Amino acid sequence: MKRIAVLTSGGDAPGMNAAIRAVVRKAISEGMEVYGINYGYAGMVAGDIHKLDSASVGDKVGRGGTFLYSARYPEFAQLEGQLAGIEQLKKFGIEGVVVIGGDGSYHGAMRLTEHGFPAVGLPGTIDNDIVGTDYTIGFDTAVTTAVDAIDKIRDTSSSHHRTFIVEVMGRNAGDIALWAGIASGADDICIPEKEFKFENIVNNIKKGYEKGKNHHIIVIAEGVMHGEEFAKRLKEAGDDSDLRVSVLGHIQRGGSPTVRDRVIASRMGARAVELLRDGIGGVAVGIHNEELVESKILGTAEEGALFSLTSDGGITVNNPHKAGEELYK
């Protein structure tokens, strides 16, 4: 393969730039040419494609966001969108693509592979909700940002004897809430993966203040419910503390990536190029027990694929979030 392209798709995540940089530098060292596609699949369809060289990725490893821009583009799920994108790839002589994004982006990578353009997926999202990898690019930075914010909120919580509900991102996954909650010493953590009772939290708050604690921090994942709704339900369950809600929001997506995110992004980016160099597409790179691993994106559960097609054309996730060893055999 002589010419490949790289794109970022879905929500931006810190470390995406480090991954792009690794793709570009590794590809050049393998004698390939690299093109950047702006705005993900939307840019592919629009032909927003330009050549990258080694200097294009200088001073990018530590920068947040994605310098190739990103977009959510559901139209790429349709054949018409895919064919329009492929027409552009052909125009630029591109033979393979590295797709950095979430699982929606992986489906696009699979479709490209089926149409004869091998594509490799890299898990770029702060949510850590991608099957086939222990960690996604951006998760470590997002959690670090959330912990920094919660540490600050604790100052106000302690100064005023206030209870704080801190809502963090994660879509339907509770990983950011769990990690940020543990690392900041939260008093309660609520995640979509585990049931809880408001009455128990109310008791916990009361007991804490009775014991002489001067703060109470509850970290909730956005997938549980919005912070304001949570506060309402807590009051209805009998909470009589001075309660405030803080929604951390998009600050969790921004900022310079942590060392860990820079390193896993760089390793994964380089591996993606090796796979394309060897003509392999339709796979996603992940990290398991600190080793890089690859999984087929689409296929049967028995083959260890991440997703299967259902008889009515839908998609099933074969392996639960952070599937066990069987995925990596």
Task: Say if residue 53 carries a ligand binding annotation.
Answer: no
| Residue 329 exposed, middle or buried by CB count within 10 Å (0-12, 13-18, 19+) | exposed
Residue number with CB closer to ligand F6P (113 or 133) = 133
126 binds ligand F6P (CB under 6 A): yes
Among 4, 6, 9, 11, binds ligand F6P (CB under 6 A): 11
CA-wise closest residue to 175 among 129, 115, 225:
129
Would you list the DSSP string of 264-284? HHHHHHHHHHHHHHTT--SEE
* Shortest Cβ 250–ligand F6P spacing (Å): 6
Task: Say if residue 135 carries a ligand binding annotation.
Answer: no
| C-beta of residue 13 within 8 angstroms of C-beta of residue 122 | no
170 binds ligand F6P (CB under 6 A): yes
Near ligand F6P by CB under 6 A, which window of 19-27, 37-45, 121-129, 291-299?
121-129
The 232-261 site mask, x for binding ligand F6P (CB under 6 A), equals: ---------------------x--------
From CA 171, how far away is CA 128, in angstroms rounded?
A: 10
From CA 160, how far away is CA 215, in angstroms rounded?
A: 8
SS3 84: helix
| C-beta of residue 4 within 8 angstroms of C-beta of residue 32 | yes
- H helix or E strand, kind and range, residue 245: strand 243-247
| Catalytic residue selected from 12, 127, 140, 261 | 127
Residue 52: phi, psi to the nearest 5? -115, 145
* Shortest Cβ 193–ligand F6P spacing (Å): 15
Near ligand F6P by CB under 6 A, which window of 82-90, 123-131, 195-203, 311-319?
123-131
219 binds ligand F6P (CB under 6 A): no
**127 is known as an active-site residue:** yes
Q: Which residues are catalytic?
A: 127
Chain residues binding ligand F6P by CB under 6 A are: 11, 125-127, 169-171, 222, 253
Residue numbers in the known binding site for substrate are 125-127, 162, 169-171, 222, 244, 250-253
